[in-house]
Amino acid sequence: MIKITLIQTSQNRREELIRFVCSLNQQQSINLKEVQLIFVDQGNNRTVFEELNKDVVFDYIQTSLCSLSHARNLALSHVKGFIVAFPDDDCWYPPHTLACVLKVIEKEGYDGVSGKGTNENGILTSIFPKESSMITPTKRCAAISYTMFFKYNSEVCFDENIGVGSPYNLGSGEETDYMINLIKDFNYRIKYDPQIIVHHPRSVDNGTGDFVLRKTYCYARGGGYLMQKHHFPISYYAKQFLRPIGGIIVYTLLCRFYNVKKSFLLFKGRTEGFFYKFPQ
């Protein structure tokens, strides 16, 4: 019986995929025959999986270049496990990650769990809480695609208007939207558990340069659209729009003009996403 299905897609990150495969092979306290990996290949990566443990149920889908949301939707109809997850192509698992996920969902009775992301040196990849708690649409505990594990629900798919590769430059929020739909429409109880760790390189958002600014703006547009799509409390909207305004003021006083520009693009992107109307 398949228990966990992992859906992954990539274009050309061969070395990162090799690292992921090695980490999957090294999972402990779980029978790898209970694990399914569905790989949606937007490049030429099939040979990477020749090293995958033969006990893992492997499904391979070749496709042309597409958005992240579309690639994941292609895989959803092939899910055999009762738990589904969406590991990034550059993440990897410590030896007990999947066993810990099964414990939370099977034995503790939750409908999903999100863990904590760290890089290879144990440095957090985002601002993750120290204590476990329940996840809500507005208290998401920094949940991101590679830390999320849910009971599979065939009625929920990814919004292909948003996420990496969005045709409307709404470059984030697809996994958050997926999780919120599970909570709002199906009453999923999802736990944040910092004992579950997934490794991932730290984001380039911590750096500088035009690429970071473009990504900041694109992701902010996706976040703004997410606020339009879901009905959050007024306090949530205020926080999302006032914080970058505060950043503009503070960084201007400190003469940190790169950060001023980044805060401005956050505000601009969220505003555009919030008011965005799709072409007729």
**Domain ranges (residues) in the chain:** 4-202, 208-274
Residue appearing with tokens 């090695």: 22
Read off φ and ψ for residue 196, nearest 5 degrees.
-90, 120
Q: Which two tokens stand for residue 173?
A: 């929020």
Q: Which two tokens stand for residue 162?
A: 């948003």
Q: Where are the alpha helices (DSSP H) in 198-233?
A: 210-229
pTM: 0.94
Between CA 35 and CA 246 the distance in angstroms is 46
Fold of 4-202: Spore Coat Polysaccharide Biosynthesis Protein SpsA; Chain A (3.90.550)
Read off φ and ψ for residue 118, nearest 5 degrees.
-135, 155
Q: Are 178 and 100 in contact (CB under 8 A)?
A: no
Between CA 222 and CA 171 the distance in angstroms is 5
Q: Which two tokens stand for residue 161?
A: 């208007």
Tens of pLDDT, residues 109-161: 999 999 999 999 999 999 999 999 999 999 999 999 999 999 999 999 999 99
Tens of pLDDT, residues 186-196: 999 999 999 99
pLDDT band at 204; cut points 50, 70, 90: low
Tens of pLDDT, residues 243-254: 999 999 999 999
pLDDT of residue 111: 98
pLDDT of residue 61: 98
Averaged pLDDT for residues 257-276? 97
Angle between helices 210-229 and 234-253 (to 10 degrees): 160
